[in-house]
Amino acid sequence: MSESDKMQPVKSWEIMLLSRERVGARELQKIFSRGHGQINRYCRNPHANDVQRNPIDRLRLMFEKLCERGEPELVRTSLNLLAETIDCRVKPIKCPRPDKITVEEECLDDFPELTELDRLIARREHPNLIKRQAERVQSEVDETVVRYIEFWEKHYGGIR
């Protein structure tokens, strides 16, 4: 079967259905401590009768509630924990937006995050905390670069 012939899940129930096919219903029963019927309900299209919210939908709902309550870092930490399974980390998809007016101010804004990274390393904190702080440092540096490019283009024209 070619890659294009394989089911490409988009919805959470499709992910659960394909997972059941790949891992097996018994294994999912063990993982979720649920019976065969419940696992099957997780794998049904929501338009069908007798459907219940699957674990993926429940996590998403919890993440949305956390964000509403100002806890995006807790969501990011959770997602990074899940993403470690495939040696990945989450990152924002939006372009960095500088929060300072001048390049110099953006440069100064980099230091507190870098200092915090060094402090966490000196305290021998968990590598996941170090990675997350490094991502914050990178985000600040990205803002500085965006502000610098704007400065350059204003004073010297295009980059090329």
Same domain? 151 vs 115: yes
Chain segment 66-77, per-residue pLDDT in tens: 999 999 999 999
Same domain? 29 vs 72: no
Same domain? 146 vs 107: yes
Chain segment 112-129, per-residue pLDDT in tens: 999 999 999 999 999 999
Same domain? 111 vs 146: yes
Rounded (5°) CA angle 47-50-54: 80
CA 109 to the chain's CA centroid: 24
Same domain? 113 vs 144: yes
Same domain? 19 vs 44: yes
Question: pLDDT grade, residue 147 (50/70/90)?
Answer: very high
The domain tally of the chain equals 3
Domain range for 86: 54-90
* 97 located within any domain: no
